[in-house]
């Protein structure tokens, strides 16, 4: 007998939750806190979906849709609102500065390489770079942020050079946890969109995966994956940057949208249980 749709969905959710629960346990988050978060998001998503459908999101309707009691819905709406806007702002500002440094001609050499910049002062300085791509945040605060993460190197008291091709937080735990939420949500949203049967085009979702690789091929594959992925992302960054209103205020057009592409690396040893299940497809593709 084939599994029901709900059984398959339950198995998919369990698979999603396993790595998430490992992260929660490592960071001292209890089941009770996780349950509060899950409850709040059941209510919030149900409220938003009701608005999209043109229905009034009453307490009674939210209780019916989520399976919670009216008392639980009311309490959740009043008190539980997780917020990571501070980390989001810090990450976005730092990422915009590095992106601008790599593509703005005012901060590039004639050969297109990021210049070493004077930290302060007029002209093509780091202070001007931050003003242009990070708004009114003090340039010293951004410099400290990038220096702590190893993205820039202060070569002498008044000069700084870029040493990383992208902003990838390494030391700041709160920043990495923020990325966990953002990137995972985008991936699940893309898959959720592709699960729907509608007239809208599917979102791009692909991976290549082999499951019987020896240890000694992994370092070379890591290098290839990193280099090819970085080159693709930089090419797409250049294309998007000249069409984004924040980077180019003169861009015209209706609406405001988020669009991008995420790439992530996969590697783990195959467990005995997984080996018993037989080989995985060599290349798994979705529309």
pLDDT digits (tens, 9 = 90+) for 55-90: 888 899 999 999 999 999 998 888 767 777 777 888
Q: Is the dihedral of CA 193, 198, 201, 207 positive or negative?
A: positive
pLDDT, tens only, 34-51: 999 999 999 999 999 888
The Cα 248–Cα 241 span in angstroms is 8
The Cα 40–Cα 46 span in angstroms is 10
Say if CB 38 and CB 71 are below 8 A apart: no
The Cα 35–Cα 30 span in angstroms is 9
**H or E element: which one contains 152?**
strand 152-156
- In the sheet with 152-156, reading across from the earlier edge strand, the strands are 117-118, 159-162, 152-156
Better pLDDT: 121 or 22:
22
Q: How confident is the model at residue 278 (pLDDT cuts 50, 70, 90)?
A: very low
Q: What predicted TM-score, i.e. pTM, was given to this entire model?
A: 0.74
For a pLDDT cut of 90, what percent of the chain falls above it?
56
**Residue corresponding to tokens 């915009």:** 96
Residue 92: DSSP 8-state: H
The Cα 23–Cα 7 span in angstroms is 25
pLDDT tops 90 at residue 264: yes
Helix residue ranges per DSSP H, 70-208 = 70-79, 85-103, 126-134, 139-148, 173-195
In the prediction, which pLDDT does 274 show? 55
The Cα 224–Cα 7 span in angstroms is 38
Say if CB 142 and CB 94 are below 8 A apart: yes
pLDDT, tens only, 90-128: 888 898 899 889 888 899 999 989 999 999 988 889 999
pLDDT tops 90 at residue 221: yes
Tokens of 15: 């698979």
Say if CB 104 and CB 131 are below 8 A apart: no
């Amino acid at each position: 007998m084939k599994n029901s749709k709900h059984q398959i969905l339950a198995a998919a959710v369990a698979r999603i939750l396993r790595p998430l629960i490992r992260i929660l346990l490592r960071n001292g988050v209890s089941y009770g806190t996780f349950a509060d978060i899950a409850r709040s998001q059941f209510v919030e998503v149900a409220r938003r979906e009701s608005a999209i459908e043109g229905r009034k999101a009453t307490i009674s309707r939210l209780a019916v849709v989520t399976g919670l009691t009216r008392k639980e819905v009311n309490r959740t709406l009043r008190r539980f609102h997780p917020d990571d806007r501070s980390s989001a702002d810090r990450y976005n500002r730092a990422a915009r500065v590095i992106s601008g440094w790599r593509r703005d001609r005012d901060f590039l050499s004639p050969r297109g390489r990021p210049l070493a910049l004077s930290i302060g002062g007029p002209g093509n300085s780091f202070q001007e770079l931050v003003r242009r791509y990070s708004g009114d945040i003090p340039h010293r605060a951004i410099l400290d942020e990038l220096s702590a993460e190893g993205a820039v190197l202060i070569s002498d008291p008044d000069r700084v050079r870029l040493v990383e091709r992208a902003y990838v937080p390494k030391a700041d735990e709160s920043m990495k946890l923020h990325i966990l939420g953002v990137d995972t949500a985008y991936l699940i949203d893309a898959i959720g969109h592709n699960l729907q049967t509608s007239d809208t085009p599917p979102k791009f979702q692909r991976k290549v995966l082999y499951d019987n690789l020896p240890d000694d091929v992994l370092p070379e594959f890591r290098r290839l994956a990193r280099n090819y992925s970085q080159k693709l992302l930089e090419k797409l960054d250049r294309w998007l940057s000249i069409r984004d209103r924040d980077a180019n205020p003169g861009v015209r057009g209706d609406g405001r949208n988020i669009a991008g592409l995420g790439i992530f690396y996969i590697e783990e040893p195959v467990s005995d249980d997984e080996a018993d299940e037989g080989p995985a497809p060599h290349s798994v593709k979705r529309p």
